[in-house]
Structure 1
Amino acid sequence: MFQIGVVLVGGPSYLSTDQRIQRVTTIAETLKLPVGGGYEHFTHQGETTEVDGVDFPVFRWFMHTAIAE
């Protein structure tokens, strides 16, 4: 399946640079990134950013949820 590279913006400051580049199959859905005991949620709002001469969709952080037991 085709994957799209995206850049994550906002959220916890402890996310590494490597974690801020993700691959998704669609930009129309929320990205749930598992981190520690929860999930950081990111969504695309139409913004892009250039990385090494290539435009990437930007996914902005909008909330954190805990993993249900």
Structure 2
Amino acid sequence: MANFKALLFGGPSSLPDHERTQFVTSLTEKVKHRLGAGYEHFVHDGEFTTVDGEEVAVFRWAARTAVAE
């Protein structure tokens, strides 16, 4: 199973910088990141950027959903 380095872009400013870089197993599935009482959803549209000489997939913020009670 391949791991891709991903950068979470956009969304709430309360999402700490150190949580914006993650490893994902798929570029076609949403990244669902828990933050507070909800989930921030990020999607990849084919964009990549270079960070410290490494190519990283850019996942842009798409939506927020609440945690089910």
TM-score of the two chains, using structure 2 as the length reference:
0.94
- Give ranges in structure 1 of 5+ residues lacking alignment: none
RMSD: 0.8
- Report runs of 4+ in structure 1 exceeding 4 Å deviation: none
Aligned length: 69
Could you tell me which amino acid in structure 2 is paired with residue 39 of structure 1? Y
- Give ranges in structure 2 of 5+ residues lacking alignment: none
- Measured after TM superposition, the shift of residue 2 of structure 1 is 3.0
Which string of whole-angstrom CA distances, capped at 9 and with x for unpartnered residues, describes residues 7-39 of structure 1?
A: 010000111111100111111100100111110
SS at match of 1:61: strand
TM-score of the two chains, using structure 1 as the length reference:
0.94
Aligned-partner Cα distance in 2 for 1:57–1:30: 12
